[in-house]
Structure 1
Amino acid sequence: MKLKKMEEAEYLDYVLVPTGLVVLGLYHLWLFYTIIRHPTTTVVGVNSLSRQQWVLHMMADPGKNGVLAVQTIRNNLMAATLLATIAITLSSLISAVVSDSSSDIYTIHTTKYLSVLICFLLAFFCNMQSIRYYAHVSFLLNLPSNEGEDRAEFVEYVMQQLNRGGLFWSLGLRAFYFSFPLLLWIFGAIAMLACSFVMVVLLYFLDTASSSPRCFHSYKLNKNNHNPDIEVTGDSVQTVWSEEPNVHKPLLLNSTSR
């Protein structure tokens, strides 16, 4: 009887767990496509646009906005550092549990802990990369640059680096979200599958931005403008309304250049 129950549990692991992973994978494929084709309908896209406008505003008057810019970046650094610390701490705890629980690394029980460990390690890596980009941007925001076309390219470069930091921040959070179903897998495949469906529903509401303002527009720096004044450059940027489907180049590759 006990052997039969173990076989049933193993069967559920082989059927329900891949089903839950497929559900999560399909959702994220849809999200990836939506970010590329319709960025302003997602939170990732809207946040990318807001960061671009924030950089343009901060660099319009570095002397006035420099302190505010550095403080804002510092807050993001502290948040990313906290998540990285939590991720590596949980990874260490799980490693200790796995090493003490069994000497056979091929058991299904150890595989469950290993999958969660991989999620937390990915979260740690992504948050460390986010810290790297945020620290780099904190120097770039107040760095003097050349005039004219070089100035426009420099501002665009700062936007790109800040968006990359935000992208790794989002990926780090996504790794934490993904660890929830895997943690519940420890208690059974049914719990893992149910959590996967619930997680997809919650992430849909967290990732979509259907109520974003219609007047939310993006800025594309005009590189033909050789005026060294960044305020004038900001006024001469090309305004593209966000309701167009292909406003931006894919955000995951280069969110600021077209």
Structure 2
Amino acid sequence: MGWVWKEEYLDLILVPFGFFIMCFYHLFLLYKYLKCPQLTTIGYENHNKNAWVEKMLLIEPKDRGIAVNVLNSQLSASTSLSSISLILCSFIGVVLGNSSNHFLTSKFILGDTSKSTNSIKHIAVLSCFLLAFSCFVQTTRHFVHGCFLISMPVGNDPVESVKCIQKAVRRGSNFWAAGLRALYFATTLLLWIFGPIPMFVGSVGTVMVLHLLDMNKAPLIRYGDNSLKKIEQNGTSAVGTLEHNGRP
């Protein structure tokens, strides 16, 4: 007997290829970020956030409410997305547990519609939402830590204090970006529920749109190199004032 084409082969060809395109693009983006961060939107935003931390620390601690409010807005966004991701995980778990739920039949899907394949689809989407939830939780953790640090005076080593706050803000931003990427993967895998062709088209379209959004062509803004010196001077004067008042 000769070889016979089956619709199930579409899942074996298009789904891995679409997933490979998504993974390859994000590996390329990671390489670009590590080698030339100024050419990526993530690196450009991190540069601006580092400068923002330095400028905020030039303000007196009692007047840094605006900085805390900015971080709180990020906290609210990450908390909302983490809650949404957890709710979607619960919903997918219910759908996965209800094996008799077939809201789409084979006549509407061009591809494999077996129960095992449907289970793989739901598990893949569930994994992406769980990863997104974990990333947004880490985002909340680092921004909360940044709020604590930026709301108090710098330590005896102002430069290290600035670097510590910048590290917390950068990590929170990076986990935020990773959580969004997990949602992008989840979206393309959700399209797989409707067949391998929508999933493949969605993967290609997502990569094209993300490439336009992730590549940065704007030059880095130079905010001045004297911020750290001013922070160090303010920290030294503050320590001198405390010692003069007899405090430890």
TM exceeds 0.5?
Answer: yes
- 8 A Cα contact 2:132 2:182, kept in partner: yes
1:61 is displaced (CA, Å) by 1.2
Residue deviations 1:84-137, cap 9 Å, x none?
01000000000000001269x970111001100011001100000000001111
Residue number among 207, 210, 216 corresponding to 2:214 in the alignment: 207
Residue deviations 1:227-253, cap 9 Å, x none?
432699xxxxxxxxxxxxxxxxxxxxx
Q: Secondary structure at the match of 2:152?
A: coil
The residue correspondences of 1:225-236 to structure 2 (distance < 5 A) are: 227-229=232-234
Distance of 2:234 and 2:140 partners within structure 1 = 30
Count of residue pairs the alignment pairs up: 222
Partner of 1:70: 68
* Distance verdict in 2 for CA 1:171–1:219, change over 3 Å: farther
Specify the code of the residue in structure 1 equivalent to 2:210.
L
Q: Within the alignment, does 1:197 sit opposite 2:195 as a pair? A: no
Note the residue ranges of structure 1 that are not aligned, 5 or more in a row.
233-258
- 8 A Cα contact 1:62 1:141, kept in partner: no
- 8 A Cα contact 1:52 1:218, kept in partner: no
Q: Within the alignment, does 1:54 sit opposite 2:52 as a pair? A: yes
TM-score, normalised with respect to structure 2: 0.82
- 8 A Cα contact 1:119 1:176, kept in partner: yes
* Distance verdict in 2 for CA 1:72–1:92, change over 3 Å: same
Distance of 2:219 and 2:139 partners within structure 1 = 28
Q: Within the alignment, does 1:124 sit opposite 2:133 as a pair? A: yes
Distance of 1:203 and 1:22 partners within structure 2 = 15
1:221 is displaced (CA, Å) by 8.1
Distance of 1:101 and 1:78 partners within structure 2 = 36
Distance of 1:51 and 1:181 partners within structure 2 = 31
Note the residue ranges of structure 2 that are not aligned, 5 or more in a row.
102-113, 238-248
Q: Secondary structure at the match of 1:107?
A: helix
Larger Rg: 2
Residue deviations 1:26-54, cap 9 Å, x none?
11111011101111111100110011011
Distance of 1:37 and 1:219 partners within structure 2 = 23
The residue correspondences of 1:33-112 to structure 2 (distance < 5 A) are: 33-63=31-61, 65-101=63-99, 107-112=116-121
Distance of 1:106 and 1:165 partners within structure 2 = 39
- 8 A Cα contact 1:43 1:209, kept in partner: yes
- 8 A Cα contact 1:60 1:231, kept in partner: no
Distance of 1:214 and 1:46 partners within structure 2 = 7
Partner of 1:29: 27
Distance of 1:129 and 1:121 partners within structure 2 = 13
Distance of 2:210 and 2:224 partners within structure 1 = 25
* Distance verdict in 2 for CA 1:19–1:231, change over 3 Å: farther
Q: CA RMSD in A?
A: 2.7
Distance of 1:163 and 1:44 partners within structure 2 = 10
Partner of 2:108: none
1:226 is displaced (CA, Å) by 9.9
- 8 A Cα contact 1:58 1:65, kept in partner: no
Partner of 1:256: none
The residue correspondences of 1:122-201 to structure 2 (distance < 5 A) are: 122-147=131-156, 150-201=157-208
